[in-house]
Amino acid sequence: MGNSYVLKLIQLMRPLSPELKFELLTEISNKLKKRNKKNDKKNKEAILNKLYGAWKDTDSDLIKEIYESRSNSERKVEFD
């Protein structure tokens, strides 16, 4: 069924100039990209909501050990 829609679109686009075809395809592509970005954001939010509070039952000794194992560098960073 989807293939018949594609064939109809191709038939509709056949008389268009190459510039108009390119503009049409660019617009379709941009719309699809925007839709994917919205879906990605929704997926990320769902994952964050699922994992929210995942560490709440963690033993405080483990949390203390993790914090103590971290180290900070004292070296000077220059961006020349």
Q: For position 1, what pLDDT does the model report?
A: 56
**Whole-prediction pTM:** 0.42
Query: Is 52 part of a structural domain of the chain?
Result: yes
Q: For position 17, what pLDDT does the model report?
A: 93
Task: Say if residue 2's pLDDT is above 90.
Answer: no
**Cβ–Cβ under 8 Å, residues 21 and 13:** yes
Query: Is 38 part of a structural domain of the chain?
Result: yes
Task: Say if residue 15's pLDDT is above 90.
Answer: yes
Query: Is 34 part of a structural domain of the chain?
Result: yes
Q: For position 49, what pLDDT does the model report?
A: 77
Q: Which two tokens stand for residue 25?
A: 């395809």
- Give the tens place of pLDDT for each residue, 18-58: 999 999 999 999 888 887 777 777 788 788 778 877 777 77
**Cβ–Cβ under 8 Å, residues 13 and 23:** no
**Domain of 41?**
16-69
